[in-house]
Amino acid sequence: MNFENLMPRGIHRMRYLAIFLFLACASTFASGPCDIYATGGTPCVAAHSTVRALYGSYAGNLYQVRRSSDNTMKDIPVLTPGGVAKSAVQDAFCTSTCVITKVYDQSANGNFMEYQGAGSSITGSAAPAVATTEKFKLAGENVYSLYIKPGNTYWRDGSKSGVPTGAAPEGMYMVTSGKHFNGGCCFDYGNSETTRKADAAGAMDAIYFGSSCWFNTTASYKCTTGSGPWVQADLEWGLFASNSSTTWNPKTVSMTSTYVTAMLKNNGTTRMALKGGNAQSGGLSTFWDGALPYSKMVKQGAIVLGSGGDCCRVGGGVNQSEGTFYEGAMVAGYPTDAVDSAVQANIAAAGYGSATTEVSFKRSLPSGERILRTVQDRIRLENGISEVAVYSLGGKLLGRGTFGKGEISLRADLGIQEGIHLVRVRSVVQP
């Protein structure tokens, strides 16, 4: 369709063009981690979160809860496309104790996570996590974490739905907490056995986060960098901070931030990398980037969340670990360091733990947009005609307008109240 034919002729033509272009972009939200991975050529094969969308366009459900009083289920959606969880739905529904029965896959692969216990389609010895244990602020909105305690765990067989198997390369990340952990085996997120048994060295490829010093029975292996929690790789038959089972990696540091980004990537044959950072600010630290401890990976392609791979089928024991899961994704291929950094920047800009207490404009860089970062109410527009849109970090449009060159007040001109916001400025007509 030729949209120019829909616009009036004459002196106001440019104004209509500006307004039309603004409306066309108003529904476009900031990219999520899985958009970044896709742009880097390593698409998400599974994407899970109870707190926010991991694609800028995702408008579906994040997770499912079950109410104890009548065993009724309820899906918890996003507040807006690309935004945070609409936790008010859970608050209204959970008039008695609720548990999280599923965490939906936001990718197109259908790799949703389900608790490994009675009443689920998986069966097993585990119980679902209570849905209301941790409530916190994300981008100024109330959301709930997946708060894993011993006895809770989630699993999915993704071997036929996109999850890498064998020695195929893959990467993954999760956002967790440095305040809730233990040394039990094993708070994992990533690739695991379809058998739910400890089948072989290299049968797993999962992020581990906790204080377990797995090989400390060896005299030379002492975890000397604090008391944890640490980011390690669960590759089956061991938790690895490097490629060594005899010497601790001194670059592995305790990650004690309230919100922690943990990353693992593995090319399947020669190389893996472990990274971590504060999920509220800053970049990533690389703890290991080098050889694998095994000659090659023999991944089976299941996904585990909250426990080790040999848990928790019927008769297969119970999960001994605990930890917090906010979000995570698995990707096909070996992400570049630049992609890792971009994902971390996206997480840091998401607003973990942020309440609306000050005016602060987060930086984001969608193609073709100029983003302002300031703590002032007034901003200066340098171009002839600019479109200004203000969003909550959860993706909700708060105000918009088209302005000429000069200074504008976000409060007076757009009615924006104090809070943490994303301000997008797009130049429409050059002076």
pLDDT of 364 higher than 50: no
Q: Which residues are catalytic?
A: 236, 310
pLDDT-based confidence at residue 298 (cuts at 50, 70, 90): very high
> What's the pLDDT tens digit per position in 156-177?
999 999 999 999 999 999 999 9
CA atoms of 173 and 53, how far apart (whole Å): 15
Residue 387: predicted pLDDT = 76
pLDDT-based confidence at residue 4 (cuts at 50, 70, 90): very low
Lowest-pLDDT choice from 15-19, 93-97, 214-218: 15-19
Q: Which domain holds residue 55?
A: 33-349
Same domain, 25 and 38: no
pLDDT-based confidence at residue 9 (cuts at 50, 70, 90): very low
Same domain, 284 and 361: no
Residue 360: predicted pLDDT = 34
Instruction: Write down which residue in 323, 349, 375 finishes a domain.
Output: 349
Residue 247: predicted pLDDT = 95
CA atoms of 393 and 401, how far apart (whole Å): 19
Same domain, 365 and 313: no
Same domain, 314 and 377: no
Residue 377: predicted pLDDT = 64
Same domain, 398 and 368: yes
* CA dist 369 → 19, 53, 387 (Å): 16, 21, 10
CA atoms of 223 and 207, how far apart (whole Å): 18
pLDDT of 16 higher than 50: no
Residue 426: predicted pLDDT = 67
Residue 30: predicted pLDDT = 66
Instruction: Write down which residue in 349, 384, 415 finishes a domain.
Output: 349
pLDDT-based confidence at residue 192 (cuts at 50, 70, 90): very high
Same domain, 200 and 310: yes
pLDDT-based confidence at residue 421 (cuts at 50, 70, 90): low
Same domain, 280 and 327: yes
Same domain, 161 and 302: yes
Residue found by looking up tokens 């090989």 in the block: 215
Same domain, 176 and 317: yes
Looking only at the bridges linking them, the beta strands covering 360-361 and 420-429 are parallel
pLDDT-based confidence at residue 382 (cuts at 50, 70, 90): low
Same domain, 96 and 209: yes
CB within 8 A of 110, min separation 6: which ones?
Answer: 161
Same domain, 164 and 286: yes
- Residue from 292, 266, 265 nearest 276 by CA: 265
Considering its fold, how many domains does the chain have in total?
2
pLDDT-based confidence at residue 384 (cuts at 50, 70, 90): low
pLDDT of 213 higher than 60: yes
What 3-state class would DSSP assign to 204? coil
Establish whether the linkage from the previous residue to 186 is cis, with ω within 30° of 0: yes
**CATH number reported for the structural domain that contains residue 49 in this entry:** 2.60.120.200
Residue 414: predicted pLDDT = 81
Lowest-pLDDT choice from 42-46, 219-223, 244-248: 219-223
Lowest-pLDDT choice from 51-60, 188-197, 392-401: 392-401
CA atoms of 45 and 130, how far apart (whole Å): 27
Strand partners, 115: 154
pLDDT mean across residues, the chain: 85
| Mean pLDDT to the nearest integer, 65-81 | 97
Same domain, 274 and 379: no
Instruction: Write down which residue in 299, 333, 349 finishes a domain.
Output: 349
CA atoms of 295 and 350, how far apart (whole Å): 38
- Percent of the chain predicted with pLDDT > 70: 83
